[in-house]
Structure 1
């Protein structure tokens, strides 16, 4: 971390909004006008819409992330967490990954912490659940699912096989529907290499408290997606919640029971709890309360956007829709970040700030290879696509939306190779504990040496 007399613009969070806002500020800023500092516990930004495809092996996990230091070479990038903020002193408390915490003064603040998984006090969930918010979880899910196939193929115990081949997904929004679609596709392909496992031996279960799935693409495409998943022998339980999942024994509110080693939790998100320690105005659900110009209410030096902010939808409000808020998706986050970056520069120079207005362009979702839905809006007209065309539109949109041309090219290269080469179905479960094998080899030797030394010590003392 460098010290400077220039004003500091502190960006808390290196996700979609943090990355794009910092890039915009650096692009618009005059040379030497300010120092931009980005603080995040990870040194990379994750493009979350690609996590289901990374879990299915359609995209290399490295191509789903964007290294912050490479994309923001003119910014300070600090790996750590901003644990609290003193607004009176304009000082942030930073806890680095190693070393003692320290204070970081700032003049302007951008809050882009994003969201965390929304969970409930369900017995066994913390011990059994697998999230889908980060690339680490996507890799872990892929390895875990293939490892369950390895287990089932290596035993004749029916109870063990049944538990290994049952996969429960909770949440029917984008993350849940896309993940179960991609993972089921991968598992179906993998059965070609397991002589004792057929698709009929596997049980995929999707659970949601709502009465529909994929609400973001509209009722018609959501209904098509529901019927499509059912045709693939995926059990779907709507208006249903999870009562318990202790030791993998999943009990649903409708009485259905499923014993499973795999419980994937994608039932929504909530604002990062750390916001409560930042001394800024929060809405009723914990989001940062911002005006139409993305400035935090009651301040003239703090801005926020993305999943952690309650951003008014000025387009819908102009049409008479009261209390309309922008949904937490990549489409809005990208555009909010650009407006936020421009407003930080304007606020720093004392110029008027612009308001964020964006009419939704629609939504796309992938449900596995060659399967998807897309609802594209052109003014008051909405065009709906499903099947292979919806899948092409899904990949085309997100392929162009992923940050940097470096990542765009790598992602499209992955997809192109996937057209000619078979999907990899190898499990790298040892990645979860890479030192385990070495420890098992080294520990006995070390223990034997210490035992020998202890045995020789009395002899040396006696002589």
Structure 2
């Protein structure tokens, strides 16, 4: 049998493998997925995981539960030698080993873009994975508990200060949801003054949410500021050493919670460790039908899509590439499966063409914004559209039902505000049990 190797189990990789195993004939080919995580993260839910509106496990779609005919390898592909149809796999446990394939699908995704800013690597946390979202939520809840035991002063202000760096969708949605949680949470702490909350959103450009038009973007800034947030445009983080944040505008503040959402960078493996063609940004060069290569020089048996590939956007034209978001990655994953099957069976592949369904973002409980072809909807209707779209888009009916049940429960009983930060140190209670200090 032919071996189809899928590198990465994110949106594009998961959907490609899922559709392949449903459509492949018996003994036509076998599918292998290599990914360090045993689940696909449904990233649009991460801001709601921050706020407790979605359970962390419900934002993660199990690969083994849904890819029942696919071989799952827990690890990472560290090199691709397509000339020899060989990759090097670094498993989560054990030594690296070579793995042969016949067809490769590169959907390794992008990584969080970082800069050599003092203190960022030591102090900041990303918002790309479920574990990060859970840690951010628990850290905020724990900060409230700690702040409530302190008198007003610098230490208490630091605990109640949050900084988000990056004004794209991930940063704005995360900022809005966490701000919504904090303003609700402070009501449960009579020791704290709501005025002590200090939330900062830092963006290097002169606007946030580049996917929407200028005026809706300005409205989002006004909405966040109306709710107590501080939006710093045309500002860069110069330093974050020991939690002391210094902006290029001269603003300075102390924070124990710095969330880094300043965009994506090329996957280092794709950029540096493959013989497949890449462009100047370090992205995989693919044609409109998602085959690796160009129209004049296609690469046999190599396909790619998602955030690590420069997919031509035929809907826009002018040589533009599709933006790295879930809307494209899901559809590219499905087309990858169809085109690989067509290639195996001697049929022509189809080109990827997808016109945007619009952009929708949550800004906190009951607040959102939607834009499509000049039509802008704000507030509660946009928030309901956001929830409706994503409950339909999340894979599998099992996940849809679980998420919908959590939302309905929260509508009646409110968000859960229990911190489980101690889960990050599970042995501490056992180790210290019985200790007595004199």
Q: TM-score, normalised by structure 1?
A: 0.91
- Is 1:440 aligned to 2:432, yes or no? yes
Aligned match for 1:280, one of 256, 276, 281: 276
- Report the Cα distance in structure 2 between the residues aligned to 1:423 and 1:126, rounded to whole angstroms: 31
Q: Which has the higher helix share?
A: 1
What does 1:111-260 correspond to in 2, within 5 Å?
111-156=106-151, 158-260=153-255
Runs of 4+ in 1 over 4 A off after TM superposition: none
- Report the Cα distance in structure 2 between the residues aligned to 1:107 and 1:343, rounded to whole angstroms: 15
- Report the Cα distance in structure 1 between the residues aligned to 2:58 and 2:7, rounded to whole angstroms: 23
- Report the Cα distance in structure 2 between the residues aligned to 1:88 and 1:355, rounded to whole angstroms: 25
**Which of structures 1 and 2 has the bigger CA Rg?**
1
Secondary structure at 2:131's aligned position in 1? helix
- Report the Cα distance in structure 2 between the residues aligned to 1:192 and 1:157, rounded to whole angstroms: 17
- Is 1:421 aligned to 2:413, yes or no? yes
- Report the Cα distance in structure 1 between the residues aligned to 2:343 and 2:142, rounded to whole angstroms: 53
Per-residue deviation at 1:434? 1.2
List per-residue Cα deviations over 1:43-65 (Å, max 9, x = no partner). 10000010000011001101000
Aligned match for 2:388, one of 393, 396, 399: 396
Per-residue deviation at 1:351? 2.0
Per-residue deviation at 1:436? 2.1
The equivalent of 1:365 in structure 2 is 361
- Is 1:107 aligned to 2:102, yes or no? yes
- Report the Cα distance in structure 2 between the residues aligned to 1:101 and 1:270, rounded to whole angstroms: 25
Secondary structure at 2:386's aligned position in 1? helix
Deviates more, 1:292-301 or 1:43-52: 292-301
Secondary structure at 1:427's aligned position in 2? coil
Per-residue deviation at 1:157? 5.8
What does 1:53-92 correspond to in 2, within 5 Å?
53-92=48-87
List per-residue Cα deviations over 1:330-353 (Å, max 9, x = no partner). 111111111111111122223211
- Is 1:292 aligned to 2:288, yes or no? yes
The equivalent of 2:15 in structure 1 is 20
- Is 1:326 aligned to 2:318, yes or no? no
- Report the Cα distance in structure 2 between the residues aligned to 1:195 and 1:149, rounded to whole angstroms: 11
RMSD: 1.4
Secondary structure at 2:74's aligned position in 1? strand
List per-residue Cα deviations over 1:381-408 (Å, max 9, x = no partner). x421000011011111111111111101
Per-residue deviation at 1:271? 2.2
Secondary structure at 1:300's aligned position in 2? strand
Per-residue deviation at 1:354? 0.8
Q: Do the aligned partners of 1:50 and 1:64 also contact (CA within 8 Å) in 2?
A: yes
How many residues get paired? 431
Per-residue deviation at 1:192? 1.8
Q: Do the aligned partners of 2:83 and 2:275 also contact (CA within 8 Å) in 1?
A: no
